Structure 1
Amino acid sequence: MDEPVQALRATAHPLRLRMLSLLTGAELSAAEVARELDITHANASYHLRVLARAGEVVVAGEERVRGGTAKRYRHPWREGLEPGGAPRDVEVRAMSQELVRRWETRTRDRAQLCDAELWVGEEAWAEAMALVQRAAELVHEEARPPRSEGTRKVALTIAAFGMEP
């Protein structure tokens, strides 16, 4: 299977999207991923291998565990960024499914939503896109291991794109 198809399939699964989010702020073993996502260790291992083969996660290290070796994975999110790169249709569908799941687990204290299809000037659009990019970078850069002291679980789902007239 060619590399783009493998990456496409790997990122199209909602559970794998959750793993990528989890592995943005922490280097975790399959057992830790399984505990955090409430899935079996075998299921976590399988999905991590799929993501690793597609280059979506990398082995960040290994540790000795009860006579064996456990790999620790991380999501090299910055290395996969392509300025101006468009998401694939299957990624958009997976993202929308994840948004519904995340919305159902939201806290009631604060949410910011925006849904707009409108015409704006080029300067305003460039500024909006720069702010969106900075927001995405900020949460990725500041991501911490799950349940770290002083953190809260959040979701940031962004879809911003120009449209044909």
Structure 2
Amino acid sequence: MVDEISAMRAIAHPVRLRMLSLLTGTAMSAAEVARELDLTHANASYHLRLLADAGELVVDGEEKIRGGVAKRYRYPHERDLAPSEPGTPTRPSAPAAYLRALGKELERRSRSRAASTQSLSSDLEGWVDEDTWKEALELLMSAARLLHERNRPPRTPGTVHVSATSVAFRMQDDQ
């Protein structure tokens, strides 16, 4: 099993973050990922293997293609969106490299923002009571589960292209 810090390092790259999002709604081969993200096949294969080796992707079948075998990868989002019991260890704080990659990915996505559509932008560093924090965290987890579970392959008829990012955590007191 890969340690959590290695897994966080593996996802701390804008292309790999895009792959995780893409592979939430469907399993895809390296060739399909390469076409969708406009990458070379070799580049897509490299990043997919790195994510799989870090435990961030699972192989979800294989298919024969021109005498070879292509693995189909998917992101097991249900693992990361399961609520943890109080007192159980959580992932370590996101390393700076991951947060930088996330910021770059948000910048890229924001350039594709549809004009005149409903959206939300929110930021807070504040103080709330424990019950409010628990309720807010449950609502965010519920929204994340909903979007991940209902995510579909790119350009599926009847779907819209969306972006949703949540980073919420309890902070240490300044004392």
Aligned partner of 1:136 in structure 2 is 144
Aligned partner of 1:74 in structure 2 is 74
Aligned partner of 1:101 in structure 2 is 108
Q: Percent identity at matched positions?
A: 54
Aligned partner of 2:125 in structure 1 is 117
Shift of 1:116: 1.5
Q: Give the TM-score taking structure 2 as reference length.
A: 0.86
Deviations 1:67-92 (A, max 9, x none): 22111111112224573545422322
- RMSD (Å) for aligned C-alpha atoms: 1.7
Alignment of 1:58-69 (within 5 A): 58-69=58-69
1:56 aligns with 2:64: no
Amino acid at match of 2:23: L
Deviations 1:118-165 (A, max 9, x none): 222222222111110101111111111111111111111111122223
Shift of 1:5: 4.2
* Structure 1 segments unaligned to the other structure (5+ residues): none
Deviations 1:27-52 (A, max 9, x none): 00001101110111111011111111
| 3-state SS, counterpart of residue 28 of structure 1 | coil
Shift of 1:8: 2.5
Paired with 2:137 and 2:5, the residues of 1 have a C-alpha distance of 28
2:162 to 149, 154, 161: 154
Paired with 2:5 and 2:168, the residues of 1 have a C-alpha distance of 24
